[in-house]
Copies of this chain bind each other. A is one copy, B any other.
Amino acid sequence: MSSKWRGTQAAKGTVCKTVIRRFESAPRLIPGQFVTIRCGTGTEPLLRRPFAVHRVNREEKSFEILYEIKGEGTRFLSQYEEADDLDILGPLGNGFKIDLNIKNAILVAGGIGIAPLTFLAEELVKEKINVTLILGSKTKLDIPLSAIGYKLLICTEDGSEGTKGLATDLLNEFVRAQNFAPLQIYACGPKAMLKAVAQITNCQVSLEEIMACGVGACLGCAVKTKDGYKMVCKDGPVFNSEDIIW
């Protein structure tokens, strides 16, 4: 088998999905982990690009990434609908922790931050946990999503899709409605949103930093925590929100 090309060039801001096939470590991937991908063979772009695992097919040893076209790296990837000859490093990072005793979970996604949360939602559902996924964004997103077995709430700042407002507004309502019943809360998205979520409630956040090595060797992806600098690639990308110095 060989890679399948999309044939068209995607524009900046477009959301794309690529299936990575024949990845031996696929069965080991857990939600919240990521991979780094070399985008091309030359020196531009130079560094590997990190992407969260969006969905896994363990039997077929494949997984999906979901990403927004930002620059050369993501543009390069967008050429592939399916790929089996890319240089991929992973699984990397710690992944989300799941508490099997807490039967309700809220997942808060900001824009493309949805990528790892769908994988998490699916795993939580398998564990018979009630999942609500809140997806907030500035405006209507063109993301192909199929929420099977869990509830998907969409909100946009301009009201062009779902409720008008912020993801944190919905979260606030939800937390209040729960009335202190135990909840697992997870969030992934822009730093400003994560900070706002962390102010509402303690949760697990998946962070991003510019990465060089992706394996904990360069000390490049530092994030300030109450216990000093931690590395997003190795100690994270998932952290307890209360450990982070926002």
Interface residues of A (CB under 8 A from B): 42-44, 72
User: Which residue of B has the minimal Cβ distance to A5?
Assistant: B7
Query: How far apart are the CA atoms of A42 and B72 in the complex, in Å?
Result: 9
Q: Which residues of B contact A72 (CB under 8 A)?
A: 42
Q: Which 4 interchain pairs have the tightest Cβ spacing? A: A44-B44, A42-B44, A43-B44, A42-B72
Query: How far apart are the CA atoms of A44 and B43 in the complex, in Å?
Result: 7
User: Which residue of B has the minimal Cβ distance to A42?
Assistant: B44
How far is the CB of A6 from the nearest CB of chain B, in Å?
Answer: 13
> Secondary structure at chain A's binding surface: helix, strand, loop or mixed?
loop
Query: How far apart are the CA atoms of A72 and B44 in the complex, in Å?
Result: 12
Q: Which residues of B contact A43 (CB under 8 A)?
A: 44
Q: Which residues of B contact A42 (CB under 8 A)?
A: 44, 72
Query: How far apart are the CA atoms of A72 and B72 in the complex, in Å?
Result: 17
Query: How far apart are the CA atoms of A72 and B42 in the complex, in Å?
Result: 9
User: Which residue of B has the minimal Cβ distance to A43?
Assistant: B44
User: Which residue of B has the minimal Cβ distance to A46?
Assistant: B44
How far is the CB of A20 from the nearest CB of chain B, in Å?
Answer: 20
How far is the CB of A11 from the nearest CB of chain B, in Å?
Answer: 14
How far is the CB of A187 from the nearest CB of chain B, in Å?
Answer: 35
Q: Which residues of B contact A44 (CB under 8 A)?
A: 42-44
Chain A to chain B contacts (Cβ below 8 Å), 4 pairs:
A42-B44, A42-B72, A43-B44, A44-B44
Query: How far apart are the CA atoms of A72 and B43 in the complex, in Å?
Result: 11
Query: How far apart are the CA atoms of A43 and B42 in the complex, in Å?
Result: 10
How far is the CB of A71 from the nearest CB of chain B, in Å?
Answer: 10
How far is the CB of A13 from the nearest CB of chain B, in Å?
Answer: 18
Query: How far apart are the CA atoms of A42 and B43 in the complex, in Å?
Result: 10
How far is the CB of A74 from the nearest CB of chain B, in Å?
Answer: 14
User: Which residue of B has the minimal Cβ distance to A7?
Assistant: B5
User: Which residue of B has the minimal Cβ distance to A72?
Assistant: B42
User: Which residue of B has the minimal Cβ distance to A40?
Assistant: B44
User: Which residue of B has the minimal Cβ distance to A41?
Assistant: B72
How far is the CB of A41 from the nearest CB of chain B, in Å?
Answer: 9
How far is the CB of A223 from the nearest CB of chain B, in Å?
Answer: 30
Query: How far apart are the CA atoms of A92 and B82 in the complex, in Å?
Result: 42
Residue from A42, A43, A72 having most chain B Cβ neighbours under 10 A = A42
Query: How far apart are the CA atoms of A42 and B73 in the complex, in Å?
Result: 12
Query: How far apart are the CA atoms of A44 and B72 in the complex, in Å?
Result: 12
